[in-house]
Amino acid sequence: MHDLQTKLDALIAEYQHKPGALLPLLHAIQDNLGYVPEWSYASISRGLNLSIAEVHGVVSFYHHFRTFKPGRHILQICRAESCQAMGSEALEAHIKKCLNIDYHQTTADQGITLEPVYCLGNCALSPNIMLDEEVYGRVSPTDLDALVAELDTEVVA
């Protein structure tokens, strides 16, 4: 916790003077810590001269920011129209069942956090998923199983 606070303070010092600093700062925090912890709001609000409510309002407005610690991997399934046209619904149902979790949840072993996403810009090769920073195109349930099997996580069959 102490280390994290030091890291947070350094990030705030780095970003606080940028115009419109809050979003770049929140990105930096999430990139470094994996999420934007609620205990960080007080320091952020002091550093950027905002109220805690304002910081909370911004964090909660954007789907990208999360306030809980995610699993070691983040798996996003595209739910938008192009992927629907190519069977993303089956993909969603399949992975939820395999991982035994719903969206915004993390597997019991902290391996995977499952998130919905609305278009990954790969719609010529639907259906798509994003695993951490990489997009995979034309994904079948079997492909998805293989990808997940390679991860350091235990999957509930």
Partner 1 sequence: MSYKIYIPRDSSALSMGAEKVAAAIQAEANLRNFDVEIIRNGSRGLYWLETLVEVATDKGRMAYGPVKIKDVTGLFDADFLNAKPHPLFLGLTDEIEWLKKQQRLTFARVGITDPISLDDYLAHDGYKGLRNALNMVGTDIVKTVTDSGLRGRGGAAFPTGIKWKTVLEAGAKSHIGLGCVAETKYVVCNADEGDSGTYSDRMIMEGDPFVLIEGMTIAGIAVGATQGYIYLRSEYPHALITLNAAIEAANKTGYLGENILGSSKTFHLEVRRAAGAYVCGEETSMLESLEGKRGLVRFKPPLPAIEGLFGKPTVVNNVISLASVPIILDKGAQYYADYGMGRSRGTLPIQLAGNIKHGGLVELAFGVTLRELLYDYGGGSYSGKPIRAVQVGGPLGAFLPESQFDTPLDYEEFSKIWAVLGHGGIVAFDDTVDMAKMARYAFEFCAIESCGKCTPCRIGSTRGAEVVDKIIAGKDTVKNIQLIRDLSDTMLNGSLCALGGMTPYPVLSALNHFPEDFNSQTIVKVAA
Tokens encoding 148: 């997940």
Binding-site partner at residue 75 among ligand FES, partner 1, none, CB < 5 to 8 Å by type: none
157 Cβ contact list (under 8 Å, min separation 6): 98
Stretch that binds partner 1, among 3-11, 98-106, 132-140, 145-153 (CB under 8 A): 132-140
Alpha helix (H) residue ranges in 34-136: 41-48, 52-61, 81-84, 88-99
Does position 21 interact with partner 1 (CB under 8 A)? The reply is: yes
Binding-site partner at residue 63 among ligand FES, partner 1, none, CB < 5 to 8 Å by type: partner 1
Q: Which is nearer to ligand FES, 65 or 136 (CB)?
A: 136
Q: Which residues bind ligand FES (CB under 6 A)?
A: 78, 80-83, 119-120, 122-123, 126, 128
147 Cβ contact list (under 8 Å, min separation 6): 129, 131, 136, 139
User: In DSSP terms, which residues pair with 45 in a beta bridge?
Assistant: none
User: In DSSP terms, which residues pair with 151 in a beta bridge?
Assistant: none
Does position 113 interact with partner 1 (CB under 8 A)? The reply is: no
Q: Which of 33, 123, 147, 151 binds partner 1 (CB under 8 A)?
A: 123
Question: Shortest CA distance to 124 belongs to which of 152, 153, 83?
Answer: 83
Residue ranges in contact with partner 1 by CB under 8 A: 19-24, 26-27, 48, 54, 57-58, 61-65, 80-86, 117-126, 128, 130, 133-138
